[in-house]
Amino acid sequence: MRTAYEIVANHYAASARGDVASMMKEVSPEVRWTEMAGFPCAGTYIGPEQVIEHVFQVLGRDWEGYRFELETLIDGGNEHVVGVGTYHGTHRLTGKSMSARVAHVWRVKNSLISEFEQFTDTLLVADAVR
> pLDDT tens digits, residue range 26-75?
999 999 999 999 998 999 999 999 999 999 999 999 999 999 999 999 99
**Is residue 123 predicted with pLDDT exceeding 90?**
no
Chain mean pLDDT for the chain: 95
CATH of domain 4-129: 3.10.450.50
pLDDT reported for residue 55: 96
What does the H/E/C string look like for 18-87? CCHHHHCCCEEEEEEEEECCCCCCCEEEECHHHHHHHHHHHHHHHEEEEEEEEEEEEECCCCEEEEEEEE
pLDDT reported for residue 45: 98
